Amino acid sequence: MRLSKFLTIVVCLALSTESAQGFYVYDKSASLSSQTIYESQEWKNLLHYDGNKSVINSDSTFFLSPEGYNNPRAEYLATLKAMSDSDVQDDGHAICRYPARFEYILSKLKLSKNDFPKVKCKAYREYLEKVPFDKVAIVFAAENNISPSSMMGHTFLKISGKNSKGYKEHAFSYFAAVDKADSLQFYIDVMTVGIDGAYILLPYREKENDYLYGEKRSLWEFDLKMTPAEKQKLKQHLWELKGSNISYSLISHNCNTAVISILKVANPDFDIATIKPFITPVEYIQKLRFKQKIANAEIDPTDYIREKIRRYGIKNILEANKNTRIEISHHNTGKDFTKIKLSPVYQDIKDNNHGYFDEMESKIGEVSFGYSKDNKLFLDSINLLKMRSILDYDIQQDFSKHFKLSFENDLNKNNTSLKPTFEFGLGVAKYISNASFYLMPKVGWRYNHYNNFYITPEIGTIIHLTDKTKMLASYEYYFNSRGNNRGYNGKYNFYLGQELIENIDLYADYSYFQDANYKHDFTIGLSYRF
């Protein structure tokens, strides 16, 4: 009896029993069902496991077993069975579809390819020839804040090398497969149920042109330190991902987690340990540098950034601030209270950020709590999504932007009474030396007992007094459709922040409110980035 038939019989028996001990036929079956195989980290990495389940969705065609997303044993047995199946021919066979899994099974079970059906994997062989893997790099498409969907940048793999037809470069990318990436429904779905996602392999030049000229986003390229064996394993695994419906989720499976789960197949050292539920692309690349997995870094800038570099010198994205911010502040108003604010991701415009030329703010899920002097804890605000960019119009020839979707208390409301607020703005800015001056007209909507649509022009300046000292000043006034339902109509604001030591800032903030019960708010606070 050929070993492939034996494998099929053993797998079928294993699938038909509820015993956790596995197989009960012949001595050979003990090694086939060994828990050290399907519970190994190497096998789980092939399935993109993070903890007890895969980051790939349960109904994806990536899995051979309906339980594969959370049961590595079930997927292992289903893979053994499919690879032993002599009825399926050539490109559709599991051996052709899952070459990395096949090599893993051969190695762990000490088997030969002759023990399995001989299939002609024509499509896979063409892929091996057309996509050389001499060098692998992570490419970071920088944020441009033209749209909120690009607010954290995008990472993908660049694969390059020589084949029989010369030097070739390819991009392997994971993305959300949607037409309207900036619709409100898009943000609701991407933060809750997820949306369709896909992996795509295409010539690098196409991807490069899309970002540099179509989306005006600079590309940072980071060469990875990988052995030939690691590159070969990665090459096999990328093939396994093609054609699978793999849901995109902002938190659980995005472009960055996709890159991480791919690279750790080649080497577990490309994985990172973090207590945070979300890690940004820049943060991941910074951690790779710390682990000495980056061999070289270079930038392919847009015309705008190229001019910035010419004027001010280069700024390295790896020097960007840490991406999570927590702060505590005391507010001296008519009703004094202490505030604690957590910004899980990503940037605060108040910080001195040494990795970027432009003034930008990008936040998701920022939560602010207040604690009043009568010992009452309350929820003050939730920023579901906030984005702001102040761009030099003379160089960029593009508008500065503001976008906010939040739930907020009225001014000086010392209990939880959050009201929905939506704002969108387009403005212009001018950079002069270390200062930027901007005008940002905004339109918005707020519900508090009634729908209130409003227009609010904002004028302001941002000045870097030193490399570690930053000042912001602004004024905005609200023209309401039905009247004031936020607690004020106009606001003067002055902010001064000083970086004490790396990642720790001390700041003072003063606001004067027009048409408010309590007009003055003086704040002193401390923030920490991690």
pLDDT single digits (tens) 68-111: 999 999 999 999 999 999 888 889 999 999 999 999 999 999 99
- Are the beta carbons of 267 and 230 closer than 8 angstroms? yes
Give alpha helix (H) positions in 297-368: 303-312
- Are the beta carbons of 356 and 388 closer than 8 angstroms? no
Residue reference for tokens 């791919």: 262
pLDDT of residue 267: 97
C-alpha to C-alpha distance for 80 and 116, rounded to whole angstroms: 10
Mean pLDDT to the nearest integer, 270-298: 91
pLDDT of residue 192: 60
pLDDT tier for residue 269 given thresholds of 50, 70 and 90: very high
Distances, alpha carbon 484 to alpha carbons 229, 290, 410, 412, in Å: 66, 51, 10, 14
pLDDT of residue 21: 36
- Are the beta carbons of 251 and 191 closer than 8 angstroms? yes
Mean pLDDT to the nearest integer, 348-352: 92
pLDDT tier for residue 373 given thresholds of 50, 70 and 90: confident
Mean pLDDT to the nearest integer, 314-318: 91
pLDDT of residue 17: 44
pLDDT tier for residue 19 given thresholds of 50, 70 and 90: very low
Q: Which two tokens mark 526?
A: 């401390």
C-alpha to C-alpha distance for 166 and 417, rounded to whole angstroms: 65
pLDDT of residue 20: 37
Higher pLDDT, 5 or 281: 281
pLDDT tier for residue 24 given thresholds of 50, 70 and 90: very low
Mean pLDDT to the nearest integer, 369-394: 91
pLDDT tier for residue 2 given thresholds of 50, 70 and 90: low
Task: Check pLDDT > 70 for residue 430.
Answer: yes
Highest mean pLDDT among 244-253, 328-337, 374-383 belongs to 374-383
pLDDT of residue 57: 85
Percentage above 70 pLDDT, the chain: 88
pLDDT single digits (tens) 191-203: 565 677 889 999 9
Task: Check pLDDT > 50 for residue 22.
Answer: no
Mapping DSSP onto H, E and C, the string for 451-466 reads EEEEEEEEEEEEEEEE
Highest mean pLDDT among 132-136, 209-213, 386-390 belongs to 132-136
Coil, strand or helix: which one is 311? helix
Task: Check pLDDT > 50 for residue 11.
Answer: yes
pLDDT tier for residue 390 given thresholds of 50, 70 and 90: very high
Higher pLDDT, 150 or 89: 89
The overall average pLDDT reported for the chain is 88
Mean pLDDT to the nearest integer, 458-487: 97
Burial (0-12, 13-18, 19+ Cβ within 10 Å), 397: exposed
DSSP string, 39-72: TSHHHHHHTTEETTEESS-TT-TT-SSTTTTT-H
pLDDT of residue 183: 57
Residue reference for tokens 């980035």: 529
pLDDT of residue 288: 96
pLDDT tier for residue 374 given thresholds of 50, 70 and 90: confident
